[in-house]
Amino acid sequence: MQNAVDHAFPNDGDARDSGHVLVRLVRSIDELRIDVVDDGVGLPSSFSLEQSKGLGLSIVQALVTGELTGSMEMRNGEPGTWVHVRVPIAAPRVSLQAG
């Protein structure tokens, strides 16, 4: 989300005075879905999530796909950028105690 704010709306003399970042969190029975969508400048045409060398993005991707066994997708919107993260939710453990 911080990158959306920092990079989607550069202060480059553009007459635009505001932009929007939408964060949506949806929980279903078996997964958590997070969408971050902005209407900013978008990703460079050469951008590839797999080839990205940014430290912050690398850390988030490693956490989501490794530790959390989820998935992450980034693409250009029209306009802006769209990030979609899915993380599985483990079923709660039920403890049966004799009583």
Helices (H) and strands (E) in the chain — how many of each? 2, 4
| CA–CA dist 12, 35 (Å, integer) | 27
Model pTM score:
0.76
pLDDT digit string (tens) for the chain, length 99 residues: 676 666 677 776 565 667 888 999 999 999 999 999 998 888 888 888 888 878 888 898 999 999 999 999 998 887 899 999 999 998 666 767 765
* Domains and their CATH numbers in the chain: 2-8+19-88 (3.30.565.10)
pLDDT of amino acid 28: 94
Residue 30 tokens, joined: 């078996």
